[in-house]
Structure formats: structure tokens, C-alpha cells
């Protein structure tokens, strides 16, 4: 995540859910990613009760738990602070599917969630609402991006494709009006 330019320093967070046990593994709060080791990871149950680990879990613990509660198909979440996606988060604008990869990986428009303070239940609820039942990415207003997947590989792929799409959309808007896919094209490409 760091080497891909998706975040800097300690911003953002990552989690994974063990599909068999239901346990959730979270990155610790305020710790640099290049310094985290296995002992620093916090393990919680689905209600957020810590069952293993001594560090404080990420401030966005409720955001992760809320997504897992509403999306049983998801086992990995990556919350990033990438530059181009954050441009649209700062504008509180959605990112439409302007390139094939965006439609294939994310399925359609990436919605911008309503604003909620970092670490708040409101932010978690707004994020879950923006993801709806089938989305794989959303923007957090004035904050960052949340990308999800059936596994960590998929969540990371969504993260990189979202940032690429945001960059292309921004550049296209700077010189003209991007042409968006219609519903039929979107359905075909996503399928």
C-alpha cells in the first residue's frame, strides 16, 4: 500500500476477516505500516471485542465492523488516503465508470459517502450506505477511500484501479467532458 502511493505515514487502515472463525484482524492505530509485525495486529470478534493483541485498534474499527456486518461476501477491507481519489472526496463527488477496468473491477459508479467524523459510527453508517449491496469501493467525503474484496488481493486490486480511474477522470475533465458508459455497456463490461 505504501509503495503504491495509496497512503503515507500511518494514514489508512487494513483488515481481514477469517471466513471460518469470523474473527477480524485489524491494523493498529497510529503505527507505520513498514514497522507493523504480526504481534501488532489486533484480533476482534464481530462485535469488536478484542480477543488477541495488546495495541489499540485502528480508529476506524467501527467502519470495518460495519462493512463486515452488512457484507457477508467480503473478507478484506483497505482504507486508503490516495491523492486523486481524495480530490473527488474533497469535492464530495462520485467517480463514474469512465474506463473498462473501473467497470470490470468496481461494477459502476464509486459513490462518495456523506461526511462523518473520523472514527465515528456515523462515518461507518455512511460508508456502508455508499457501498450498498454490490459496490466494491466508495469515497469518504473529505477523507479518503474504502475498497473491499472477497480477499486481500481483490481489495488491493480495487484500491489500485480506483486510484487509476480517479486520475484518468480528473485528467479527462481538465481537457473536456468525459464520455460515460451507458447502462447496457456497463452491464456487459462488468459481466
Q: Give the whole-angstrom CA distance, residue 55 versus residue 57.
A: 6
Q: How far apart are the first and last CA of the chain?
A: 28
User: Grid coordinates in use for 3?
Assistant: 509503495
Span 4-14, average pLDDT: 83
Q: What is the pLDDT of residue 123?
A: 96
Q: What is the pLDDT of residue 181?
A: 87
Q: What is the pLDDT of residue 35?
A: 87
Of the two residues 151 and 188, the one the predictor is more confident about is 151
Which residues, at least 6 apart from 165, have a Cβ–Cβ distance to it below 8 Å? 95, 97, 98, 99, 101, 102, 106, 110
Is the confidence at residue 108, as pLDDT, over 90? no
Q: Give the whole-angstrom CA distance, residue 94 versus residue 83.
A: 15
Structural class in CATH, domain 13-190: alpha beta
- From the number of C-beta atoms within 10 Å of its C-beta (0-12, 13-18, 19+), residue 70 rates as middle
Span 97-121, average pLDDT: 92
Report the interhelical angle of 152-175 vs 83-91 (nearest 10°): 70
Q: What is the pLDDT of residue 32?
A: 86
Q: What is the pLDDT of residue 66?
A: 96
Q: What is the pLDDT of residue 9?
A: 78
Is the confidence at residue 185, as pLDDT, over 90? no
Is the confidence at residue 149, as pLDDT, over 80? yes
The residues annotated as belonging to the active site are: 60
Residue 7's pLDDT band (cuts 50, 70, 90): confident
Q: What is the pLDDT of residue 65?
A: 97
% of the chain with per-residue pLDDT over 70: 100
Q: What is the pLDDT of residues 46-59, one digit of tens each?
A: 999 999 999 989 99
Q: What is the pLDDT of residues 73-105, one digit of tens each?
A: 999 999 999 999 999 999 999 999 899 999 999
Q: Give the whole-angstrom CA distance, residue 28 versus residue 100.
A: 35
The answer to whether 139 and 111 have CB atoms below 8 angstroms apart is yes
Q: What is the pLDDT of residue 30?
A: 86
Q: What is the pLDDT of residues 27-43, one digit of tens each?
A: 999 888 888 899 999 99
pTM beyond 0.75, yes or no = yes
Amino acid at each position: 500500500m505504501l509503495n503504491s502511493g495509496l497512503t503515507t505515514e500511518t494514514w489508512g487502515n487494513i483488515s481481514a476477516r477469517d471466513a471460518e472463525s469470523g474473527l477480524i484482524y485489524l491494523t493498529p492505530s497510529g503505527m507505520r505500516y513498514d514497522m507493523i509485525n504480526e504481534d501488532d495486529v489486533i484480533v476482534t470478534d464481530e462485535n469488536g471485542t478484542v480477543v488477541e493483541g495488546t495495541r489499540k485498534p485502528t480508529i476506524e474499527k467501527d467502519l470495518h465492523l460495519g462493512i463486515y456486518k452488512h457484507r457477508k461476501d467480503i473478507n478484506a477491507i483497505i482504507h486508503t488516503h490516495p491523492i486523486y481519489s481524495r480530490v473527488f472526496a474533497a469535492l464530495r463527488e462520485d467517480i463514474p465508470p469512465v474506463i473498462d477496468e473501473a467497470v470490470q473491477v468496481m461494477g459502476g459508479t464509486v459513490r462518495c459517502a456523506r461526511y462523518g467524523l473520523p472514527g465515528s459510527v456515523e462515518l461507518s453508517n455512511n460508508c456502508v450506505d455508499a457501498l450498498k449491496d454490490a459496490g466494491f469501493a466508495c469515497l469518504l467525503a473529505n477523507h479518503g477511500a474504502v475498497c473491499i474484496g472477497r480477499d486481500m488481493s481483490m481489495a488491493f486490486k480495487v484500491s489500485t484501479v480506483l486510484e487509476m480511474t480517479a486520475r484518468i477522470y480528473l485528467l479527462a475533465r481538465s481537457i473536456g467532458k468525459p464520455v460515460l458508459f451507458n447502462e447496457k455497456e456497463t452491464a456487459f463490461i462488468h459481466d
